[in-house]
């Protein structure tokens, strides 16, 4: 009995997966007629399923799943699950579930998300980067594409005022940097070592941090206050090893991708501003301040549109969800 229930549960789960796959739209491409594709491979109720129609459903599956259907028993199981999913939907429609308020609400939210994704895709695809732009960027930023390494330390604070106070102190007493990092830095990964980040090349830190850190030339040189998604940094250069520029052919696509992302970001921001201006958006902050939501559960911006959080930052080290060893660090080997 238990085994039968397990088999039934697995079958229903598989049917749900089939139904999910069947809802995916396949990109238009060259038509591939199956030999004997017009033949009826299955009937259920008053419906007929041809081999071509069956093949079309298989094509909607993820690439890593389709090879599993090369085995005849798996192919038959997929067909049976597809039929079962259709029968379940028909039964649900007979019960009026297609008009259920909760289902309609979820369909409406899904529709909004898909429309939003398409709008973003259209904006992103309108961004084009020419070969000339790529070469010009390379020529204008030789240091950015060298294998120069620096050894640096930092102190991370939560607010700008505190960071400016620390900056004043370390300028007056540079030797106090390590002790202040141990006592006050919010980067729990590096604070015990006086904020020491070790040696790193470009591409290892978040862009805001890296852009300033690599402008420091002399050992002991201290940056101004640097704002990143993690907070406010004061950076100290300990050592620097100059490197050679990487050949243009090695970094061409890296530069293209960087320029493209920046171009897309600017286009999206400009589009946002245009929309808000057209709609004459006005927010009464006094009224808004009267509402106090409960603790955030995360998962994107409110409104059900799934936008990323403002700033796009990750939690600092030592906090839940922190993906890096240090708040400054962006990439790991």
- pLDDT by residue (tens digit) across 41-95? 999 999 999 999 999 999 999 999 989 999 999 999 999 999 999 999 999 999 9
Residue 295 C-alpha from the chain's centroid = 23
Mean pLDDT along residues 257-275: 94
pLDDT at residue 229 is higher than 50: yes
- pLDDT by residue (tens digit) across 5-24? 334 444 444 444 444 444 44
Higher pLDDT, 74 or 311: 74
Q: Would you state the pLDDT for residue 169?
A: 95
The closest alpha carbon to 63, from 24, 8, 94, belongs to: 24
Q: Tell me which of 52-66, 168-182, 247-261, 301-315 is least confident.
A: 301-315
Higher pLDDT, 159 or 296: 159
Q: Which residues are CB-neighbours of 92 under 8 A, at least 6 positions away?
A: 98
- The model's pTM is 0.54
């Amino acid at each position: 009995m238990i085994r039968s229930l397990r088999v039934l549960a697995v079958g229903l789960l598989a049917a749900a997966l089939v139904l999910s796959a069947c809802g995916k739209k396949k990109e238009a491409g060259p038509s591939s007629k199956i030999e004997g594709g017009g033949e009826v491979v299955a009937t259920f109720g008053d419906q007929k399923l041809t081999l071509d129609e069956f093949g079309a459903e298989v094509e909607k599956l993820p690439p890593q799943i389709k090879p599993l259907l090369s085995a005849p028993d798996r192919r038959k199981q997929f067909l049976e699950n597809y039929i079962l999913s259709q029968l379940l939907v028909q039964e649900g429609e007979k019960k009026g579930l297609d008009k259920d308020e909760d289902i309609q609400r979820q369909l409406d939210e899904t529709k909004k998300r898909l429309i939003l994704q398409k709008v973003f895709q259209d904006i992103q695809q309108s961004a084009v980067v020419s070969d000339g732009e790529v070469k010009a960027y390379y020529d204008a930023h030789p240091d950015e594409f060298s294998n120069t390494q620096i050894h640096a330390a930092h102190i991370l604070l939560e607010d700008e005022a505190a960071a400016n106070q620390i900056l004043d102190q370390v300028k007056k007493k540079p030797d106090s940097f390590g002790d202040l990092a141990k006592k006050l830095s919010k980067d729990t990964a590096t604070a015990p070592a006086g904020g020491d980040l070790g040696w790193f090349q470009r591409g290892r830190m978040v862009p805001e941090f890296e852009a300033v850190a690599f402008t420091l030339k002399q050992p002991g040189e201290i940056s101004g206050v640097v704002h990143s998604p993690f907070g406010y940094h004061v950076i100290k250069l300990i050592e620097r090893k100059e490197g050679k520029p990487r050949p243009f052919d090695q970094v061409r696509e890296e530069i293209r991708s960087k320029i493209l992302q920046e171009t897309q970001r600017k286009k999206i921001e400009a589009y946002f501003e245009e929309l808000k201006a057209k709609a004459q958006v006005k927010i009464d902050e006094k009224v808004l301040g009267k509402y106090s939501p409960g603790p955030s559960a995360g998962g994107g911006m409110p409104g059900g549109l799934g936008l990323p959080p403002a700033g796009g930052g990750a939690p600092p080290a030592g906090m839940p969800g922190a993906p890096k060893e240090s708040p400054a660090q962006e990439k790991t080997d």
